[in-house]
Amino acid sequence: MQDILKSIEKATQTFGTTWPLYAFVASNPLSGYEHMPFDKAAQLASRLLKASTYPNASEFKAALQRNDIDNDVLLNCLSENQLFESSGFYLKQMLAHEQNKTKAKYGKLDVIMSKWLSAFLDEGLAEWQMPNKEQGFYKAWKLLAVFDASLGKKLITTLPETSLEAIKIVLDKNDICNYQAFFEEHMAALSGWVGYIKHRENNASLWNQSFPITMEDYLAVRLSIAQHIYGKLNNVEAPANNATQFKLKNTWLKAWEQTFQNNLIAAISSNNKVTRPKTVIEAQMVFCIDTRSELIRRHIEAHGNYETYGYAGFFGIAMDYKRFDTNIISKACPPIVGSPYLVTEKPNPEQQNKVHLFKRQKQQGKAMQYVLKRLKNMLPSSFGFVEGAGFFYGLSLIMQTLIPQSFFKIKTKSSNSHEDFCEPEISYNQGCESEGIPIALDEKVAIVKSAFSLTGWQNFAPLVLFVGHGSHTTNNPFASSLDCGACAANPGRHNARLLAKLANLQEVRDVLKTAHNISIPNETLFIGAEHNTTTDAITLFDGNVPTSHLEALAILKQNLAKAQKTATQERLCMESGSIDLALKKATDWDETRPEWGLAKNAGFIIAPRSLTQNTNLDGRCFLHSYNYKQDKTGEALEGILCGPMVVTQWINNHYYFTTVDTDKFGGGSKITHNITGKFGVLQGNGGDIKMGLPLQSLKATDKELYHKPLRLTVVIQAPLKRVENILKKHHHLKNLVDNEWIYLKILDPDNQNLPTSYTKDLKWQVL
């Protein structure tokens, strides 16, 4: 039995994680292949998953016509790979060999499995829950399978007690010799469901604690049904060899990427030669490294003497967050990071009237939702409810369609936000405990110091904003994918508010000054804020601002409004009415593309803002502030590479693979989405659960790309030896660059900032 368990474990590692809709985190669907070169991984995954892992030939052709692929660069790449014909010749060859998707080998089996998985994994959407779920997936299915007409009683009488025994019976009956390959084939058929089972198992899901499902359960049910339906099960077939086509596509992809890299390095080098006059900085703002921050930062800097920084959007606080007046706790830091802290909301005793109003509105809203749900779903009342409420629902639909902004204002005009009367409180994480132990002073200091150290902060303006970000969309199952990935697909406002509060504490400032030589002026005030990435509006949580700063704050707000106007004009390509259109996109229930999220991402720049300021990077780059002069030990850079760089690689590969095969790695079209179990979507009424973004988040039309599928290019301004030492120390980082999952470019200040490219095995080439 141990060899079966080991084979299941190894097979499971081949597949990525499928995150639920309410915490949709971008991740590399081929994360299990990162130990091998990208081109080899692309071939193996394509064969196993029956998926495209490179852009198709028509997309390469379009990129060449747009000059996104420089023809000279392409010819050089072809020549390096001993391909000496013209680009047109190889285009025709790729077009002639484009493969049609092969039909699913186990079509009927996939349909049956999807039905049972949907029923068991449901998280409260279904009115009637599947019985016996507490016994686990295999045992619950075993008790109910007799009622499945597609299976019959004959199967049930032959099933053993445990899932592992069921798997062994199938393996023995079919003389399977390569267990891992056999398991991988049956996992690959429904890789989205498999990815979600991984999520439930690996992330200590409360649902999985109550209703457990394991990969052994999944395989036991699937293989038992497969044996019953198909009889003899075969070993995995040897894949067809299309190595030449993979080589061609890999070469064209590299040419596309090198063209982007050449343009990026040229833009940065040109900007670096510009001399800027020194001015008195009136305010500083720290934004998430998110690519959507690049646009708004550029426009804010253009409307005043402002300085902006880039920092991972959870602001270095490894925390869970508990909303006010609920028991719901959500993660508010990267999934790869633990959450030693819990942040709660403490009401201001002087504003009890707002507290009571907030609670009353919440109670009324919950009661109304419960009554409406019961009326719609209970058999005795459902038909009468539809007849009686039809007029009001019809009116609501008309308003949402014709005047979505007005409808939204009417719907929310009486609501208030808990941020108006609450202050965030940080304690040690004790799960659902509402009263935790406050964290020690040295830990508060460490959180604030980290923000200044990693961004290379030197001087402080009178006003400093920590700006988290969140999105506002309507009727969007993938809404959380537009929030902050660094906050586990939640808005970053909670982290921003907390960091501002900690930085304002006098005891924290005193220790920073005496122990770390970081002197914050008395007049410096830190304020939490949030950037709405759909509308580019910036909300300030400024309820406790002293009168001494009100005038400066009023001027800042005026300029932020100006920045919103010019930013939306650029983003939406219009001179007037851009804010209204952005608001409409945020509130319109039938808007398919409310915003583009992180689409177009292709670069990650780790450097001072001076390296990119006044350069239009077209929202294609993550921007993390870093000053190598202040990081003598390299510790700050090490933290950036081990954390944010790894996360941006996840994001980049998520967008890459969902673009090249939106059906397999993405979410398909929104038009036929069917929400299942509150956690995922299906296309239509069955099949595999979708693991990635929908077509409308990636393409301008069904055929025209919006996101350009390129691997991440990381540009760092730092001494080359410092970067090299970090790669030597962290093997997983060296793997990513050696295996070309990301590209690494260094602007080495010890060598006149000459661009230097990482090749392999700690070797470098000056560009």
Please report, in range form, the residues annotated as the binding site.
288, 290, 469, 484
Q: How many CB atoms lie within 10 A of CB 659?
A: 26
Give the C-alpha separation, 588 to 584, whole Å: 6
The overall longest dimension of the chain from CA atoms, in Å, is 83
| 166 half-sphere exposure, CB direction, 13 A CA radius | 27
Rounded Cα–Cα distance for residues 311 and 313 (Å): 6
Tokens 């484009």 label which residue?
Answer: 98
Q: From CA 87, how far away is CA 96, in angstroms rounded? A: 14
CA distance 143 to 121: 16
Query: Rounded to whole angstroms, what are the CA distances from 672 to 279, 619, 664, 695?
Result: 54, 30, 15, 11
Residue 299 CA neighbour count, 13 Å, CB half: 23
**Helical (H) or strand (E) element with 572:** helix 550-572
DSSP state of 484: B
Residue of 748, 749, 741 lying closest to 713 (CA atoms):
741
Give the 3-state secondary structure of residue 674.
strand
**What DSSP state is assigned to residue 349?**
G
Task: Look at residues 221, 248, 289 and name the one whose alpha carbon lies nearest to residue 88.
Answer: 248
Residue 469 sits at φ, ψ, to 5 deg, of -145, 150
762 CB neighbour count, 10 Å cutoff: 14
Residues making up the annotated binding site for Zn(2+) are: 288, 290, 469, 484
Contacts of 697 (CB under 8 A, 6+ apart): 478, 481, 593, 596, 597, 599, 667
Can you tell me the distance from the alpha carbon of 670 to that of 683, in angstroms, rounded to the nearest whole number?
Answer: 9
Contacts of 704 (CB under 8 A, 6+ apart): 62
Q: SS3 helix, strand, coil % of the chain, rounded to 5?
A: 50, 15, 35
Q: Strand, helix or coil at 169?
A: helix
Q: What is the CA radius of gyration of the chain?
A: 27
Q: What are phi and psi of 674, to 5 degrees?
A: -135, 110
CB atoms within 10 A of CB 544: 11
Token couple for 412? 């929310």
Task: Region of 540 please: left (phi>0), alpha (psi -120 to 50) or beta.
Answer: beta
- The helices-and-strands tally (H runs, E runs) of the chain is 27, 17
- Strand pairing category for 329-331 and 603-606: unpaired
For 413, half-sphere exposure in the C-beta direction (CA atoms, 13 angstrom radius) is 6
- Rounded distance, CA 42 to CA 253, Å? 12
The token pair that represents 156 in the structure block: 């049930």
Q: Is 182 helix (H, G, I), strand (E, B) or coil?
A: helix
Token digits of residue 194: 């498999």
